[in-house]
Amino acid sequence: MTRIFLLLLIALMCAPAAFSQNKDYSYYEFYVGYAYERVDNDAGTFNKKKTQGATVNINSDNRNYNGFMAEFNQNVTRHVGIVTSFSGTYQDSRQRYDLMIGPRYNWRGEGVTPFVHGLFGVSHVRAEVADRTRSATAFAMAFGGGLDVHAGDHVDVRVIQVDYLPTFFNGKRQDNIRASAGIKIK
C-alpha cells in the first residue's frame, strides 16, 4: 500500500512538467473585449404589444449597440477548439445578450492566428418603455472569424473579429453584424 501511495505521489508531482511541454497553443484561452453590433430590430414582438397605451416601437430600423464580449475556448487539437461566447450590448433603454457555443478552426502561424467559427445559441433582447419591461428570447447563430496577433507567451491581441449574427424572433430572420476587439489570455 505504501508503494502505491508513493508512486501516486510521484506521478502527481511530475504531472505539471508533463503538461508544460513546448507547444504553440494552449488548451484554454480566455478573451474579453469591446463589442459593437449593428442590429436589425425587426423582432416584431415589441411593435404588436402595447404598454399603457403607448406602442413599444424599437424595431423600426437598424440600431447601433455597444458593449462587451467574452469567450472561453478549449482547444481540442492544435487547430480545432470549442468556443463558448457571451456578449452584452446596450443602446439607451435596450439591452441585448447573446450566449452561443460551437467549433472554431485556427490557422496557427508564427506571429498571428487567423480563425473562423460557427456558433449556435440564444439571443435575449429587453426594452424598458413607459415603466414596463418587455423581453424576448430566440435562436441565434454567429458565423465569422478574426485575427489574433501574438503579444507574448500568454497574451494575444485580437485585432478584429467580425460575425454575421442572424436571429429568429417570431419565426422571422433578422440580419445583424457584430465586430469586436480585445485581449486574449492563454
Q: Is residue 138 part of a domain?
A: yes
Residues of the domain holding 126: 22-185
pLDDT of residue 25: 77
Residue 92 pLDDT greater than 60, yes or no: yes
List C-alpha distances in Å: 104 to 41, 63, 115, 154, 179: 28, 28, 7, 19, 17
Q: Tell me, what DSSP letter sits at residue 10?
A: H
pLDDT recorded at residue 93 = 84
CATH number for position 181: 2.40.160.20
pTM over cut 0.85? no
Total of domains in the chain: 1
What is the chain's mean pLDDT, rounded?
83
What does the buried/exposed string (b/e) look like for 142-179 if buried means 16 or more CB atoms within 10 Å of the residue's CB? bebbbbbebeeeeebebeebebebbbebeeeebebebb
- 99, 31, 95, 101: which is closest to 67 by C-alpha? 95
> Which position has the higher pLDDT, 23 or 15?
23
Residue 82 counted as domain residue:
yes
Find the mean pLDDT for residues 78-100. 94
Q: Output the nine-digit C-alpha cell for 53.
A: 397605451
Q: What is the pLDDT averaged over residues 40-49?
A: 52
